[in-house]
Amino acid sequence: MSEPDKITQEKAYTGPAIDIAIRIGLIALLIALCFQILRPFISLVIWAIILAIAFFPLCRRLSGVLGGRIKLAAAIITVVTLLVIILPSIRMVGSLVDGTKYINDRIQHSEFKVPPPPDSVESWPLIGESLKSEWYEASTDLKATLTRFQPQLKAMSLRLLRSAMGTTLGLLQFALSIIIAGIFMAHATGGGKMAKDLFVRLAGERGADFADISTKTVRNVVKGILAVAIIQTLLAGTGFMVAGVPGAGLWAFLCLFLAIIQIGILPVAIPVMIYMFSTADTLTAGLLTGWVILVSLLDNFLKPILLGRGAPVPMLVIFLGAIGGFLYMGFIGLFVGAVILSLGFKLFRVWLDDLSYPNTSGGPDALSSEKSRAAG
């Protein structure tokens, strides 16, 4: 082969490869730039998608009542949700600030009394003696005890302040997410079709099933984890306010946080009940104790019902995905983790269902052949 022919042949191979490489590079650059531009809004959009999925069944029913006006239904749900979320949040933050000031003033004026420890504390293993000593010192001279632990308390106060600022910023972002979710619900038909097309593009013919799994998983997590946590918090906070617990908003906020991360409200409720038994009358403290115990047991009944109803995968998969996602990604991981683990579990089941058995091993194909020969 002559030299010009070799050069022509090399160009025929290298030219298309270079063109493909340049195109892939430009597409990758475009995707990276789009991601950087949209990066500040990713969490807002994810939250909006979650809220839109959770509220869309209600929006669809309301639009049926309104004569099919889906945009009006979405607007009504958006406004009502903003009012329901923001107004109690403002009240809770105000109660949180007032409760913190109240406790600080009582400590400064030596009006905040810690009851002395019971004798049984000393018999507790490992921590009994030291705990009784610290508890007794706090009951006799609380200000001196707080002074001794001032560095730790200062660090904890700074963390609480940062948490309060983060909570305020989170509420603003959540309000924006609700508004974006309303827009998504108003254009749910086009958005749902685009989501299914994306899943089909990525997963083939089973993409529509995966889109359905994602939708149902998000709704189950909203109902089974968030809804139960909010119900428990509202009931516990109402009990605190009726019983006259100082800083009821502060304790309710801590109850909400612990209920979401699946610890429960008892770590907050037990100190509150001890305080009420030492300061309030026995009837009030006893009624509050019974109420709080009843509220703390609610998740044992509500969670299995709400988390597993209509679930395309076992409830345990959704639960582990939600908790693992929360530990790995924070609050939004409740939903992202549950969806990812549910899709992974479904892919695993699809892989198992698609296993083929060789004819020599007596699998389904061999069994069919034997039946055919017997019929012949």
Is residue 195 assigned to a domain? Answer: yes
pLDDT higher at 175 or 144: 175
Is residue 252 assigned to a domain? Answer: yes
Structure tokens at 114: 């810690």
| CA 272/CA 263 separation, integer angstroms | 17
* Entry pTM: 0.59
- Each as own residue / partner, the long-range contacts of residues 73-81 (CB below 8 Å, 24 or more positions apart, any chain) are 73/185, 74/182, 74/183, 74/185, 74/186, 75/182, 75/186, 77/182, 77/185, 78/178, 78/179, 78/181, 78/182, 78/185, 81/51, 81/55, 81/178
Averaged pLDDT for residues 215-223: 76
**pLDDT of amino acid 16:** 74
pLDDT higher at 40 or 139: 40
Q: Which domain holds residue 300?
A: 44-116+173-354
Is residue 154 assigned to a domain? Answer: no
Could you tell me how far CA 42 lies from the centroid of its own chain?
Answer: 16
Is residue 160 assigned to a domain? Answer: no
Of all residues in the chain, the percent with pLDDT exceeding 90 is 2
Confidence check: pLDDT of 83 > 60: yes
| CA 186/CA 73 separation, integer angstroms | 8
| CA 187/CA 185 separation, integer angstroms | 5
Structure tokens at 281: 């009358």
| CA 376/CA 359 separation, integer angstroms | 19
Q: What is the pLDDT of residues 47-81, one digit of tens each?
A: 888 888 888 888 888 888 888 888 888 899 888 88
Number of domains in the chain: 1
**pLDDT of amino acid 357:** 45
Q: What is the pLDDT of residues 85-112, one digit of tens each?
A: 777 666 666 666 666 666 666 656 655 5
Is residue 237 assigned to a domain? Answer: yes
Is residue 283 assigned to a domain? Answer: yes
Q: Which of 159-163, 189-193, 363-367 has the highest mean pLDDT?
A: 189-193
Confidence check: pLDDT of 280 > 80: no
Is residue 9 assigned to a domain? Answer: no
Of all residues in the chain, the percent with pLDDT exceeding 70 is 70
Q: What is the pLDDT of residues 252-269, one digit of tens each?
A: 878 887 887 777 888 888
State the chain's mean pLDDT as an integer. 75
Is residue 58 assigned to a domain? Answer: yes
**pLDDT of amino acid 372:** 46
pLDDT higher at 33 or 7: 33
